[in-house]
Structure 1
Amino acid sequence: MNSSRNLYQNIVNRLKNSYPETEAQSLAFWMLEHFLQVSRGDIIRDKELQGIPKALHTALEELQAGKPIQYILGEAPFYGREFKVNPSVLIPRNETEELVHLIIKENPQPGVRILDIGTGSGCIPITLYLEMAEPVVSAIDISESALRTANENAGIHGAKVSFLQTDILGENIPVGDLEILVSNPPYVRELEKAQMHKNVLEHEPSLALFVSDADPLVFYRTIAKKGLGALKSGGKLYFEINEALASEMEELVTDLGYHNIKVHQDLQGKNRILSANKR
């Protein structure tokens, strides 16, 4: 098959059994760009192809089996950059870009000391380092394999981030004197699994996604409590949150003594980010 348009349509037809048509089309464009350097414009012009690599066929089979394309390609976009990803880290989400953008917008001053808790691929601290004015950035995670991925991403992008292995539920925050504490911790309740796509359930790390129905705010409570000792007076706490638990989150940080508490909606109008200041 030498026609790029025919190949594109063939891929879409194969994926339509597993994905909605618009998503199948998007995946087909992504695959052709990655494996053949064929753009959307090339497909419109029906550029001729010299050959089709075996890796594309393998990737198509993995997609049909439900494996996320980001893990197949080994990378995912975040805030205008590509980050290495693998099944030891979550695939960066659009709403996390909004969390990062809020932090950048609200903190223009130079030299801010920042800690990211549960860093995964490192997309949050690396982006903050690159987009802010001379920040001092650290990040922690319980997963050794996640930290290896984060370190690799920092090297690729030339970001000076100090990565430390820490179990936030069992250990103290290893750095202090912070102006910003940010976290996108596990917040999906077990009862919400039924609403999730199987490619998330079967492929992304459950350690980074799920909390028990009995205590869904365990990470937030722990981080906010320990943050009182790690943040400077006036320092800021930023959380990505479960939209279903926004009011409970406001109550939690209020009871701990934080003030200037705000819940921010994402582009879909969901309560997705909470910010607060230490007194």
Structure 2
Amino acid sequence: MNLKQLLHHFTKELIEIYDEQEIISIFNIIVEHISGFNRSQLMLNGGAEVEEVKYNTYLQALDRLKTGEPPQYVIGDTIFYGLTFKVNPAVLIPRPETEELVDWIIERCNSASLKRGSLLDIGTGSGCIAISLKKNLGPDFKVSAIDVSEGALATATENALLNNAQVNFIHADILSYSSNEKYDLIVSNPPYITMEEQKEMHHNVLENEPHLALFVSDEKPLIFYEAIAEFALSNLNSNGLLCFEINEYLGEETMQMLIDKSFINIELRKDMQGKDRMIICSHPN
């Protein structure tokens, strides 16, 4: 069987789960992982016969995909902000909108000529935010990261080693964590999806990605934002920045919470899809 025929087989087997364009994208990811062909090379090598050993590997991957398991978990890694990150069911798969938050933070630091300082990432998961910022803000930035999940911290530690990034990982629950450490930047992409919104989500996310990192109650959707904002009031340096990825439906509520806690220079930004997605604000001094 050649790669073109294999794509046809993948399409037939996965069409009840994904649309055809999604299947092509997933197939491209799997081919690059197993055969080493990028999209351009795949077009040139589509008629090449697949070796038996690799063919069996493709079928094993297809069996996992048919259960709804995300392709990133099947191959074991993903790309975020130009870096490779190991991912597994202990951590969320990094999203493009989170890359936009990282980009905004780097932009703000560069515009302020902030070349040294300390940063805390709360709810680090795979470590994608902390590690990407460490790699891009430079060696004089001290970066720490918190997560309540030991499994997530193990994956984040592996990713820091993989990307040669020095990050101090802390096992803690931000809802009860206290520290005397001061930071110039606090960033978080905490759980923010309400149980009501859960009904709209793709089943492969619900069945595979960690609920601990995704969901909050309908009654207290800002529980983590409020806890992190309180922590930031005590632990941000003067003029320090608090940076959030947010629930697209709760932009105004999140901003009002920050206003009520006296944060200043509050800026809400939309993502590339036009959704309210991130906030940066300053410590009230």
User: Structure 2-normalised TM-score?
Assistant: 0.94
Q: Could you give the per-residue CA deviations for residues 226-262 of structure 1, whole angstroms, max 9, x where no partner exists? A: 1101001110000000010000001000000100001
Separation in structure 2 between the aligned mates of residue 48 and residue 54 of structure 1, nearest angstrom: 13
Contact 2:146 2:169 in 1 (8 A): yes
* 1:43 equivalent in structure 2: 42
Distance 1:32 1:81, change over 3 A: same
Does residue 101 of the first structure (1) align with residue 106 of the second (2)?
Answer: no
Pairwise mapping of residues 58-137 of structure 1 onto structure 2 (< 5 A)?
A: 58-108=60-110, 109-133=114-138, 134-137=140-143
**1:50 positional shift:** 2.8
Separation in structure 2 between the aligned mates of residue 14 and residue 110 of structure 1, nearest angstrom: 51
* 1:154 equivalent in structure 2: 160
Matched position secondary structure for 1:228: helix
Contact 1:83 1:123 in 2 (8 A): yes
Q: Structure 1 segments of 4 or more deviating over 6 A?
A: none
Unaligned runs of 5+ in 1: none
Contact 1:4 1:42 in 2 (8 A): no
**1:175 positional shift:** 5.5
CA RMSD of aligned residues (A): 1.2
Which residue, 216, 227, 232 being the options, matches 2:221? 216
Does residue 34 of the first structure (1) align with residue 33 of the second (2)?
Answer: yes
* 1:10 equivalent in structure 2: 9
**1:66 positional shift:** 0.5
* 1:139 equivalent in structure 2: 145
* 1:205 equivalent in structure 2: 210
Separation in structure 1 between the aligned mates of residue 38 and residue 209 of structure 2, nearest angstrom: 29
Of all paired residues, the percent bearing the same amino acid is 43
Unaligned runs of 5+ in 2: none
Which residue, 170, 173, 195 being the options, matches 2:176? 170
Which residue, 220, 224, 234 being the options, matches 2:239? 234
Separation in structure 1 between the aligned mates of residue 251 and residue 36 of structure 2, nearest angstrom: 43
Q: Could you give the per-residue CA deviations for residues 118-164 of structure 1, whole angstroms, max 9, x where no partner exists? A: 00000101000001132110000011111111000000111010000
The aligned length equals 277
Separation in structure 2 between the aligned mates of residue 267 and residue 162 of structure 1, nearest angstrom: 31
**1:271 positional shift:** 0.3
Distance 1:175 1:96, change over 3 A: farther
